[in-house]
Each structure stands twice: as C-alpha cells, then as structure tokens.
Amino acid sequence: MRALIQRVSSAECVVDGQVTGSCGLGYLVLLGVGEDDTRAQADQLLDKIVHLRIFDDENGKVNLSLLDVGGSMLVVSQFTLFADCRRGRRPSFTAAGSPDVAVPLYDYFCDRAEELVGHVGRGIFGADMKVTLTNDGPFTIWLDTDELSRPRR
C-alpha cells in the first residue's frame, strides 16, 4: 500500500457536485492499494499515519501526532500512486490493485481509521473526484508499506 499524506487545515472531496467527505485539521490521505496488499499492511500503514509526529507542539516543534491534536482525516482512493513511468510516456497501472482487491482494503483502512481517529471523510472509489485542500505547512509525506518493512541502513 502507498499513501501520500498531506497535513491540512481542511480538505473536501466532491463527486457530481455533492460533498462525499471532508475533514478539518488533520490529513488528506491519498491511498493506493496494490494487487498483493493485505489487511496487515493496511494496519501497519494506518498505525504509522496516526502516530506520525508532524504537528507543532506548544514550542513550535514538530512533535505531536494526529491523535494528540484530535485531528480528522479525508481518505481518497488513488490507484495512480502505482503509476509505472519507466517506459514510454503513458504510465502503466498494472501494479495497482484491481477493484475486487482494492475496494475491500480501502474500506477496511477507512473503517479502522474511524475506530482510531473518529471522523474520517471518504471519497468514492473509482469516481471522478474533485479534491480541494488547504495544505498546512505545506507538509507532505510519502509512505510505502514495502519501504516501511525494510531495515534501515
């Protein structure tokens, strides 16, 4: 699984003119599911995300997590995080999970996030979504469960 996390003051997802999900202070999480991804990887990724200390404490140090600040999340499915641009000019998305794999893992991730965080807005899997955000910082982090599992050098 892959996630692009943006610390936001607010974010919103709109499909066909209707807001499908939003969040206030917290994270916009663009979530990509790969063909071989599992619930264990979803749990690992979510644990990393909610405990990342990327919010300022009272001294202005980046030292607080999403849970510490009582933040919320907007999670948007994003198969394009698995784009392979090594050949030619059109990306290949063959490493992205098919809908029968990706939808259940996306839903699982969001459901577990709601248990931990409380408010979790959602996009609609496969829809043409318009996502707006007010990036706070800006602060953007890329996470990949394949890399999270590797030993540090």
Q: Is 80 a catalytic residue?
A: yes
Dihedral angle sign, alpha carbons of residues 31, 36, 39, 41: negative
Measured torsion, CA atoms of residues 21, 35, 46, 83, in degrees rounded to the nearest 10: -70
Rg of the chain over CA atoms, in angstroms? 15
| Catalytic residue (one of 6, 41, 78, 145) | 78
| Catalytic residue (one of 20, 41, 55, 79) | 79
Q: Is 78 a catalytic residue?
A: yes
CA separation for the pair 33, 80 (Å, rounded)? 10
Q: Which helix (H) or strand (E) holds 22?
A: strand 18-23
Among residues 55, 56, 62, 78, the alpha carbon closest in space to that of 7 is found at 55
CA separation for the pair 52, 100 (Å, rounded)? 30
Active site residues: 78-80
